[in-house]
Homo-oligomer: A and B are copies of this chain.
Amino acid sequence: MNLFRNTLAFCLLLTVFYSAGQTRRVIHIPDIEGYSTLKCDFHMHTVFSDGNVWPTVRVTEAWQEGLDAIAITDHIEYRPHSAEVVSDHNKSFEIAEPVAKELGIILVRGTEITRSMPPGHLNALFISDANPIDKKDVFEAIAEAHKQGAFILWNHPGWKAQQPDTTLWWEEHSRLFANKMLQCIEVFNGDEYYPEALGWAMEKKLTPFANTDAHDPIFNAGKPRTMTLVFAKSKDNEGVKEALFSGRTLAFCNNVVAGDEKLLGQLFNASLSFDEKPLNLKMKGRATVFIMNSSDISYELVLAVKGKEFEAPETITLKAGEITPVTLRGVSKEIESLEKLSMKYKVTNMLSGNGKNFEAEFSFTNF
């Protein structure tokens, strides 16, 4: 009987994953100068808190979806399956870790400190042991995470269940921030967007995040899931940690990218390419630039600063993975003496602050 059980276990193991012909999707978001762009999700749950999947699923689905790094962040205080699922707070990480190693996924050890507002829910990443964080007093719990060197983020600050009417920054958050116990804030959680959080992130230099907060299996036919883009010096745990503490992230959700203006510009430029040859645009003539967008992000542009002596389209969509023609028309004799043709577009799906958009300058050689 013993032999049988071993054989069986081995056989079943083989069938589970690889035999299913699973493949890894590639998310096309370019690196920027000096950094690798890692696709990450730092907030998700398993049966070890109130999630509905075994920890290994979080790794295999991240691998299939083309992610580079994840953190499983089971609630410390809320474990509705505890009648059947028995363990300490480190178990979900320990179960997921060998699969992450095999598949080359960076697995960040994390947990979620889950309290009423204020301060609400906070994720602690890069901890060494989740068990001592299980403390009655929330600030003691946070202090313990901080002691372990944690990177701490405020989750879904505008969640209606905790901030039903307005999204407020509480005194408690100021205190945590002052004590370097708050480095980061979710600008997107699942499909939700919190404009105030983006504003605070830009003002206070909090690292902006976008996470799924997945409880159920993640199904994403087609569009990429909500994720944090991390611009890392190396593709490993240390590289992710350094980038997060340095604030080098953009939050990405439903084709919208939010965060620091400079990073937005670098990502935008790295996504696009076109032939540099002179346009030779003349009065009443037209010239077309074919812009290739190699990324999986479609950019939506609205003309912000018109060009001089020529007309350009009022709106442009640079579709993900395709080549879009942009036609300019000369409207005056002066165009024929211009060496450069420039205009600015507001990128409506790139947010550089609460109510602010990134503006992209295009400059084409004319003669």
> Which one, A34-42, A47-55, A194-202, A344-352, is touching chain B?
A47-55
Residue of B with least CB distance to A323: B24
> Which B residues touch A23, using CB under 8 A?
319, 322-325
Indicate if the CB atoms of A12 and B222 lie closer than 8 Å.
no
How many angstroms from the CA of A39 to the CA of B32 in the assembled complex? 30
CB pair B5–A78 under 8 Å, yes or no, is yes
The verdict on A340 contacting chain B, using a C-beta distance below 8 Å, is no
Residues from chain B with Cβ under 8 Å of A327 in the complex = 18
A178 within 8 A of B: no
Indicate whether A290 reaches chain B with its CB closer than 8 angstroms. Answer: yes
A211 to chain B, nearest CB (A): 14
Residues 63 to 106 of chain A near chain B (Cβ within 8 Å): 77-78, 80-81, 84-87, 91, 95, 102-104
Asked if residues A8 and B52 are in contact (CB atoms below 8 Å), the reply is: no
Q: For A95, list chain B residues within 8 Å (CB).
A: 84
- With A5-B78, A24-B322, A84-B87 known, 16 other A-B pairs at CB within 8 A are A8-B114, A9-B80, A12-B78, A20-B190, A22-B325, A23-B322, A23-B323, A26-B292, A48-B84, A52-B53, A52-B57, A84-B85, A84-B86, A84-B95, A103-B325, A219-B221
Chain A residues proximal to chain B, CB less than 8 Å: 4-5, 7-9, 11-12, 14-18, 20-26, 47-48, 50-54, 56-57, 60-61, 77-78, 80-81, 84-87, 91, 95, 102-104, 114-116, 161-162, 190, 215-217, 219, 221-222, 288, 290, 292, 317, 319, 321-325, 327
